[in-house]
Amino acid sequence: MKIIITENYDKMSKIANKIIEQIISKKPKSTIGFATGTTPLRLYDLMAKSSVDYSKITTFNLDEYIGLSKENEQSYFYFMKSNLFDKIGIKTEQINFANGDIKDYKKECERYSNLLNNHQRDVQILGIGSNGHIAFNEPKTPFNSITHIVKLTKNTIKDNSRLFDNKNDVPKYAITMGLKEIMQSKKIILLANGENKAKAVFDMSYGPISIKVPASILQLHPDCTVIIDKNAGSLIKKA
Ligand code: F6R
């Protein structure tokens, strides 16, 4: 695991942007795994403004809330379309998402898992939850998990409520890529900023590899780069 501590959020995003640009310059038809959330927003902004042509990539997203349609402005699908995909010329056919708005969830998990097995990601972008989750793999998720339905923890619902008008509107369940599938990506870039991520980042990087901190599995990935701002890196610096 390579760790890059940057001065601030903007520098963190710019380094990630450069790495992604290099990957696409070498392979314009790359398959990229994307994360939602506030952390990658500046990166997506930079990608949208980049001179690199992203129009040939195939995308896979990490997760989606259960019960929200693609048209719902709080859905992750809507988030990706409006913050990135529409801005870089990605057509619907190139976008792969788990559908959270269907009745047969078991079948949907199988469908998405099969797709992931057949399309190795060249790079997977990740954020991290303050409890150490990656995608919606909450603490105690087995390391060999594949796409599954998850009941969100109180902590995650609280963290995500800032993006909803009312805490009660935050969906309680999500469909998420599993840890085994995240690890299948050739390269992983994890971003984190802010003091509230410092403990999760420290435990992920230097703590024991344990299902108590799902992100700690990334210590076993052969090509994982962690890019963080100095606040998220504060405990690492202290140590
Ligand atoms: C979102 C996702 C989550 C977030 C994490 C951090 O697709 O997979 O694991 O990356 O919850 O969220 P932010 O960036 O909002 O702090």
Task: Provide DSSP, 55-100.
Answer: TT-EEEESEEETT--TTSTTSHHHHHHHHTGGGTT--GGGEE---S
Q: How far is the CA of 37 from the centre of ligand 1 (A)?
A: 5
pLDDT by 10s per residue, the chain, length 239: 999 999 999 999 999 999 999 999 999 999 999 999 999 999 999 999 999 999 999 999 999 999 999 999 999 999 999 999 999 999 999 999 999 998 899 999 999 999 999 999 999 999 999 999 999 999 999 999 999 999 998 988 988 888 888 888 899 999 999 999 999 999 999 999 999 999 999 999 999 999 999 999 999 999 999 999 999 999 998 88
What does the longest C-alpha to C-alpha distance in the chain come to? 49
Residue 133 CB less than 6 A away from ligand 1? yes
pLDDT in the model for residue 163: 82
Spatial separation of the C-alpha atoms in residues 156 and 138, rounded to whole Å: 9
Helix (H) or strand (E) holding 13: helix 9-26
The residues, ordered by sequence, that sit 6+ positions from 109 with a Cβ below 8 Å of its Cβ are 98, 146, 147, 148, 149, 175
Q: How far is CA 29 from CA 25, 55, 126, 199, 211, in A?
A: 9, 8, 20, 36, 34
The candidate with the shortest Cα–Cα distance to 201, out of 216, 222, 223, 185, is 216
Residue 178 CB less than 6 A away from ligand 1? no
pLDDT in the model for residue 112: 98
Q: How far is the CA of 126 from the centre of ligand 1 (A)?
A: 7
Residue 130 CB less than 6 A away from ligand 1? no
Tokens of 65: 């809330």
Order of strands across the sheet with 173-176?
A: 63-65, 173-176, 148-151
Tokens of 3: 């760790």
- Determine contact, residues 32/44, Cβ cutoff 8 Å: no
Q: Is residue 63 annotated as a catalytic residue, yes or no?
A: yes
Residue 177 CB less than 6 A away from ligand 1? no
pLDDT in the model for residue 208: 98
Catalytic residue chosen out of the listed positions 133, 159, 181, 221: 133
Helix pair 9-26, 41-49: axis angle to 10 deg:
50
Tokens of 182: 């995240």
Testing ligand 1's pocket by substitution, the residue of 9, 12, 36 carrying the most ligand atoms inside 8 A of its CB is 36
Helix pair 76-83, 41-49: axis angle to 10 deg:
40
Which atom belonging to ligand 1 lies closest to the Cα atom of 194? 16
pLDDT in the model for residue 165: 86
pLDDT in the model for residue 239: 81
pLDDT in the model for residue 189: 98
Q: Is residue 71 annotated as a catalytic residue, yes or no?
A: no
The residues, ordered by sequence, that sit 6+ positions from 119 with a Cβ below 8 Å of its Cβ are 31, 58, 60, 96
**What residues are paired with 96 via a beta bridge?**
60
